[in-house]
Chains A and B, each alone.
Chain A
């Protein structure tokens, strides 16, 4: 049901923008005011969410068992999976953020056919499609800077060139568009057909998937089918980023207003949703702290400083005679 509700919510958003910017003619609302509002909500929502998380006390470092901890010199330590210092932790975080190492470790549990034996198989599909999804999304986001910068910087042009290097059709097909849609569909179908994932999926899982899929499809519709007037689009987007917003005189196809409205909704929804893993991944307590719980001196911060440490040697000094009298072993005799 959650999937259907999410689908209809996204459909309603599409219809809203279609009717609002088309029939009702509220082009200023959908082309200027909502995008500005979305940017403000996104930026301040994101910052306040992270600052709120940063106010939560940091837990004691969590030793995860992804690799052998550093211990005795003759036991080989795994410095990336179980780091003991800052540089190892930086590498572990970089591998997590850039290559999704946790997803790489994903396994599937199966009961063997020939008896009640449990088998664990490697399951790399989620990792693979998650990588495809996130990197093509990043590429698409960066490529859009051609509409938000003038002149277009060289690196953006290079991205544009390599992303359309196969020169398929006109306007040339971007490979990232194809990969992106395939990856979203995989992530969606996984939620539908994997019973265990399906059972725990709720609307906030399906809604972003449908929303992002609708953004991708409306963008591709604009480019490959409706062939919107990209100069008029850039007049509008450049108006936004130079703070002199205008609705261009040349008409822009309605699909553009649908696209920009869905993107605005995504930006506004972002800080309040699971999509905040973008910022939250950097605060993962099992990833961003070295495992040195037994290598460092830890002092309880609320100890009374007036109470000094009292070693065993000092204790023995205090009670030596009584201990010898009672027949207890002592380190120093006299």
Chain B
């Protein structure tokens, strides 16, 4: 073998980079997400599957409806009506974002910019503390 003093260290670095995720997570507990579900309600504004896949889209549409069109009422697929408000409707049940929203967002590195403005929930005395800057700012 020629130029082994360059090639062997290079290959070791390469293998280390490829195997980085295995080393980084070695011995860590299995990944699971546990949400604190609201006690006062059993159903969200839409079905669980819909909320799981589309909650960000619904919130985005809500933002446009309120801010740009002045529409303040949301009618869900069952015909029930809700006040369009993250702070008053969503956080009425999901009172603490750290125990619900962040439980999924943080582990997958998602940092929605909802919280740039909505930093109060009705049942909370003060602003929500900037929960762990681990989520990369916003």
Contact = CB atoms under 8 A, between A and B. Distances in A.
B3 A54 contact: yes
Contact of B54 (A57, A158, A227, A238): A227
Given A50-B7, A234-B31, A148 B2 contact: no
Interface string B46-65: 00000011101101100000
A149 interface: yes
Nearest to B63: A170
Contacts of B136: 154, 157-158, 160-161
B43 interface: no
Interface in A253-308: 279, 282
Interface of A is mostly: helix
A243 B26 CA distance: 9
B15 A241 contact: no
A29 interface: no
B14 A279 contact: yes
Nearest to B22: A241
Contact of A147 (B32, B59, B108): B108
A303 to B, nearest CB: 19
A159 to B, nearest CB: 9
A55 B109 contact: no
Contacts of A161: 111, 136-138
B3 A58 contact: yes
A170 B28 contact: no
B67 interface: no
A242 B109 contact: no
A150 B134 contact: no
Contact of B18 (A42, A55, A242): A42
Contacts of B19: 43
Interface string B86-124: 000000000000000000101111110100000000000
Nearest to A243: B22
A58 B2 contact: yes
A290 to B, nearest CB: 14
A231 B2 contact: no
B4 interface: yes
Contact of B109 (A54, A157, A235, A246): A157
Nearest to A42: B18
Interface string A215-250: 000000000000101110011001101111010000
A153 B110 CA distance: 13
Contacts of B113: 167
A150 B106 CA distance: 10
A210 B135 CA distance: 35
A19 interface: no
Nearest to A150: B31
A73 interface: no
Contacts of A235: 31-32
A241 B25 contact: yes
Given A150-B107, A151-B107, A157-B111, A242 B30 contact: yes
A145 B107 CA distance: 11
Contact of A152 (B33, B104, B107): B107
A96 B20 CA distance: 26
Nearest to A144: B21
Contacts of A231: 33, 104, 107-108
28 contacts: A43-B18, A46-B14, A47-B11, A50-B7, A54-B1, A54-B7, A56-B2, A145-B20, A147-B108, A148-B21, A149-B21, A150-B25, A152-B108, A157-B136, A160-B136, A161-B136, A161-B137, A161-B138, A167-B113, A170-B60, A230-B108, A231-B104, A234-B31, A235-B31, A235-B32, A241-B21, A242-B28, A242-B30
Interface of A: 39, 42-43, 46-47, 50-51, 54-58, 145-154, 156-158, 160-161, 167, 169-171, 227, 229-231, 234-235, 238-239, 241-244, 246, 279, 282
Nearest 9 CB-CB pairings of A with B: A157-B136, A238-B31, A146-B109, A148-B21, A170-B56, A241-B21, A227-B53, A152-B109, A170-B60
Interface of B: 1-4, 7, 10-11, 14-15, 18-22, 24-26, 28, 30-33, 52-54, 56-57, 59-60, 104, 106-111, 113, 134-138
